[in-house]
Amino acid sequence: MNVSDMLEGKVAIVTGGTRGIGYGIVKKFLEAGAKVALFGSRQETVDQALEKIQSEVPGGEVMGLHPALGDFDAAEKAIQSVREKFGKVDILVNNAGISARESLYEYKPEDFEKIMSLNVNAVFNCSKAAAAIMKEQGGGSIVNISSMVSIYGQPAGCGYPASKFAVNGLTKSLARELGRDQIRVNAVAPGVTRTDMVAALPEEMVQRISATIPLGRVGEPEEVANAALFLASDLASYVTGTILSVDGATQV
């Protein structure tokens, strides 16, 4: 698919952009003509991602930062620095997040707070900071990365689906609030995707997982990135408040 001009002239921020789905979105957006700022958790991983992406998309305009997204002032400072570097902010992808699998009986309250800080508070912080810039510019697009567990829940690690339910709530509410400022807010809810975590699983386990998916396989990061590209682009100019499932019709 030729996407070389879908985001021409746009400036995008992708949190959690150093690996997996986030990295796939960074690459897809650069290929579509955007200037991209990728946010990561550490300078080391940001530097590694920048080196890799510059070899894969030569000539792409990309920068990297590692703000503490759970802190509003840090998130706002980072987003302002993107505007200073690239002149504006058109697109925000809230992808940064962590998951959990602990049983409620073993779940530590501080771990629950940690997952909420990154998976929910960071989405609020980045959206608030970016929306202020987008409003001044006359519009923009926010794409939140949710999960299929935001719809189905999961049998352990309740903090993760709870955080993604909250992301869906933010998505729908902000779409209604920010629509008057021509800021669209949508979410992508991926199913099982071939990230580092899935790639590390034994092949027989991946096959068992795939057997529950009508399409017969796990998803690829690029397929989630394609959905994010659509929602971020002008092709979705009348789409807002939507939670787009990209899960192969997974049966849970």
In a domain, 132, yes or no: yes
In a domain, 5, yes or no: no
In a domain, 214, yes or no: yes
CATH number at 53 reads: 3.40.50.720
Domain that holds residue 203: 11-246
pLDDT at position 202 is 74
pLDDT at position 65 is 98
Amino acid at 36: V
Closest CA to 181 of 126, 234, 138: 138
The token pair that represents 96 in the structure block: 């940064």
169-207 as b/e, with b when 16 or more CB fall inside 10 Å? ebbbebbeebeeeebbbbbbbbbbbbbeeeeeeeeeebe
In a domain, 251, yes or no: no
In a domain, 6, yes or no: no
In a domain, 3, yes or no: no
In a domain, 209, yes or no: yes
pLDDT at position 252 is 64
The token pair that represents 151 in the structure block: 């719809």
Q: How far apart, in whole angstroms, are the C-alpha atoms of residue 78 and residue 74? A: 6
Which one-letter DSSP state was computed for residue 235?
G
In a domain, 252, yes or no: no
- Residue 152 a catalytic site member: no
Amino acid at 73: D
Q: How far apart, in whole angstroms, are the C-alpha atoms of residue 191 and residue 187? A: 13
- 105, 107, 160, 238: the active-site residue: 160
Mean pLDDT over all residues of the chain?
94
pLDDT at position 3 is 72
Q: How far apart, in whole angstroms, are the C-alpha atoms of residue 190 and residue 101? A: 17
- Rounded to the nearest angstrom, the gap between the alpha carbon of residue 20 and the centroid of all alpha carbons in its chain is 10
Number of domains in the chain: 1
Contacts of 178 (CB under 8 A, 6+ apart): 131, 135, 142, 184, 185
Q: Consecutive 10-residue runs of the chain (252 residues): their mean pLDDT?
A: 84 97 98 98 97 96 98 98 98 94 95 96 98 98 95 90 97 98 97 79 78 90 97 98 94 66
